[in-house]
Chains A and B, each alone.
Chain A
């Protein structure tokens, strides 16, 4: 018995010694799941590789998990199994879902405070910081790749229609008149289209005109927010789109980014799309950069004379606990904080901005890129940034914090499509979308009651 006991102790000591020495050599490993396909995913992994090479203590292990919704679903499933990644890239519409999951996520402001890492959050572009912060300005997730929607137009088509190719329509009245001219002159097969229907035609329209899509500052004020889609502004706008579709000057391009193809092929003369579509358009639109105009999204001069900033899209990084009641070790949290500090560095953020076309996260990165003369050589590349900085940000243009937002977007899209098909009036469509959206919001509120 005594012999066994001694052997047992010796074995224990040996194991301890082994793990101890292994511990000293091994880096702290941090799992990072992202949802960017190639080539963007490769560029993101280069950023990670840069961080891994910059220090010896931590190693971030990136892995591609499919599209944003797929990444979200798999990280949630992993969390339920107690095996969640440390960092997950989540699209902006998942923000409210993540935020409501107290116990599943580690807010970034807490992480930074605990790790003793300081980040100058005031340097972030306000529209980006606001989207991912609480109402009292505490950062919940780490902004990374952001875009916004802008207007692209085909200069060749403008010229053929007798329009000034250097002057983009600034208001909806001007846009409609230009579209009519394009159609009548046959300058292009289709005058106006759009991608991401709810983002560019509902959410941005609300932000630009300082009208809330939902109460409680678009949901920032609490999960009991209700949608306000029946606001006259949205009725006016959907009526414009339906009328233009009837006149043959607007072509509905399909859901998500499906409409991008219509402008890329040169078929449509004007589009409202993600600023991230720039790279594709430069490559595919006949005539290339010389033929593409970039401009702010239009506004209704009858509604406002001082249009506001647009809101962002894209994704941010969330820090997750391993599983229910499984928190992270201190060194892991410090590693994550160091990584976040690294990606906010001016050189890293500027390179990411130039390589990918996503917005620079910080004002200093924007200034640094501007100083290199990049925007003079690449006309239009600064349009999304200046559009984000336009006017004064209000509660209605800060962003959206609505639970199950992806589902709400689909409901709105479906009702818009029914209106454009002529199955219901614009007012009825928005009424129906409002009702369905509110049911979704109430279900979310109920499931997340604490």
Chain B
């Protein structure tokens, strides 16, 4: 039978604040176990949590960037359950009154735009981290992460394929990173995703029974887990069975989802307003203040790059992947005025070197000024495009200025006709057999002679000049 897939995603994003959501402990990653803990995030009795204002501001930012309504009234609720990573026996979250609701983002897939609804965005605290003992019946709890601020972004069940789900996630992450409120690192857990997946016969209005998938720590795994789940549910329905509503864990090694059959499946969180935290009233003025500080988002920037610099949509989409890369590009263009050429060098050589070493653009040894200067050297004929590759590599290695590299290595292009004529003569004299073959009609040997001349001039000869002279001299005319 033909089925349609229905997917909704719940994303948890860790906010880039310096301190935790309800106490002054540091959120910095990498401290020793329990070093960033205090009475509040350890859930000791009698303490009073106080909300970090920046968490509210960051959440408003995300709400605005995803076209949500920012609610004028918000509060916190206690979500009650027992687990060793939760010291208080409840997680402070938002329930009846989330900060933002009813928004959307647009995704692009195969050139088609699709709108995915955002149900709500709310603030909450993260739990601690459990380390399980491999040999003994113990687990070890580190509460450094307890109280680190998160936002949960819940989508409408608007996605119809694993590809759409993955694309939605990428867009969501891009927005968070652009807003500089989350580092978007899925492997390290600062950007996490649970997926609600169901299938229904094509044409049917009512949703099928859904399962909730957890434990996917990369975009690829989200897609794989959903693909697996669709196959699993289709198989069950095709053989006359019924899908059970449950939570399933993705097993990366086996490429399967497994039922999380624990007694605690029947959750009853008994939410109630947290009496320790007072209501949050968000004035229109506050919302406007945050709106004014919103940066240009990726799709807007991409459109602007296409219009302003006349580069292809593909180039613009790559160059706007991060704000830092887009800023790098614009700075270089400003300095040399060659949008498409800068794009080629940044997308080609620079990103290749950076990716090889898994380096971020902010750590690039090559500056926008370097790139612009090198392009100017090509434009004014000092070096050829081929030599520029060598200059770029050296520039990346040593962070030296391109003009210095050209001078030190003697890479200045040979544009003197006499010098190139000499090199052509030498190439012809050294290869009489090839010359005879060429003159007998084997024209593809032309490239061979270009190579020979370049070899003799150590790549420095002006390519156009080499071409022109070879055409003339090889035929003997």
Please say whether chains A and B are actual partners in one complex.
no
**Residues of chain A having any CB pair with chain B under 8 Å:** none
